[in-house]
Amino acid sequence: MTPTKAYLTRPRERYKDSFIDAVYEYIREKRTVNWHPEILRARFDEYLRVLQQAETDPLAGMVPATQFWLVSENDGYIGDVDVRHHLNEGLKRYGGHIGYKIRPSFRRRGYGALICRLGILEARKRGVGDILITCDDDNIGSSRIIEVNGGVLQDKIDNGRHALTRRYWIRDSR
Ligand SMILES: CC(C)(COP(=O)(O)OP(=O)(O)OC[C@H]1O[C@@H](n2cnc3c(N)ncnc32)[C@H](O)[C@@H]1OP(=O)(O)O)[C@@H](O)C(=O)NCCC(=O)NCCS
């Protein structure tokens, strides 16, 4: 199914409630979250500032990165994508230029493929040519998403995780 009427936006107050609901879903699937939902509820402005800072003034060891939220008018926050403006040694092994997730209750509707495609466009706007995307070898959904978006598998490397890391490149054909 092709999702309609979902688009990327910068994180904003308007999508606070749906985002916090999604964070509870991420916790239920045992995903690590940086901010507990009740802290987010109390200090959402601060959270938005931290995301902004990641773009212009990243913490030591981090590269500048822009986070976008995939939203729709009816559903609010559906997922997020981090677009890293360049790679460091760590990201070359794990993470790459683009990382995304879709909230569990909205999966298997095509939003993963969409957020990846839109993330690629945002990376290109920021001057990234060839785009590296990585995923765990057993992440069937993400592998599929990368491949439908033109990713070519470079290799699988051992990062000491539960599965090897697949490294895909989306070449700049411009
Ligand atoms: C991976 C993830 C983004 C997929 O999101 P999604 O919205 O379900 O993806 P889509 O609906 O666009 O599915 C894309 C394709 O993958 C397939 N797929 C998705 N999840 C799958 C799964 N768990 N098992 C098998 N196939 C799967 C879909 O059937 C679809 O295949 P098709 O192109 O043949 O129709 C989502 O599961 C997620 O957020 N996971 C946790 C975070 C994560 O792994 N991020 C990626 C890091 S690299």
Mutate to test the pocket of ligand 1, among 25, 109, 144 (most ligand atoms within 8 A of CB): 144
H or E element that contains 23: helix 16-28
In total, the chain counts a number of residues equal to 174
Tens digits of per-residue pLDDT, 50-65? 999 999 999 999 999 9
Task: Give the pLDDT confidence score for residue 3 in this predicted structure.
Answer: 60
Rounded average pLDDT over 22-42: 97
Mutate to test the pocket of ligand 1, among 91, 145, 162, 164 (most ligand atoms within 8 A of CB): 145
User: How much is the pTM?
Assistant: 0.96
Rounded average pLDDT over 9-16: 98
Strand order in the sheet with 98-102: 6-9, 65-72, 76-84, 98-102
Ligand 1, atom 43: closest residue by C-alpha: 101
CA 145 → CA 70, 114, 127, distances in Å?
16, 9, 22
Q: Is 100 inside a domain boundary?
A: yes
Q: Is 82 inside a domain boundary?
A: yes
Tens digits of per-residue pLDDT, 104-144? 999 999 999 999 999 999 999 999 999 999 999 999 999 99
Q: Is 173 inside a domain boundary?
A: no
Rounded average pLDDT over 36-60: 97
CATH of the domain at 28: 3.40.630
Q: What is the CA radius of gyration of the chain?
A: 16
Q: Is 36 inside a domain boundary?
A: yes
Pocket flag, ligand 1, residue 102 (CB < 6 Å): yes
Q: Is 141 inside a domain boundary?
A: no
Ligand 1, atom 35: closest residue by C-alpha: 110
Range of the domain at 85: 6-124
Task: Give the pLDDT confidence score for residue 167 in this predicted structure.
Answer: 98
DSSP per residue over 67-117, as a string? EEEEEETTTEEEEEEEEESS--HHHHHTT-SEEEEE-GGG-SSSHHHHHHH
Residue 94 binned pLDDT confidence (cut-offs 50, 70, 90): very high
Residue 166 binned pLDDT confidence (cut-offs 50, 70, 90): very high
Task: Give the pLDDT confidence score for residue 4 in this predicted structure.
Answer: 61
Distance between CA atoms of residues 149 and 109, nearest Å = 16
Mutate to test the pocket of ligand 1, among 4, 82, 108 (most ligand atoms within 8 A of CB): 108
Strand order in the sheet with 131-136: 131-136, 165-170, 152-157
H or E element that contains 7: strand 6-9
Number of domains in the chain: 1
Q: Is 19 inside a domain boundary?
A: yes
DSSP label of 138: T
Q: Is 174 inside a domain boundary?
A: no
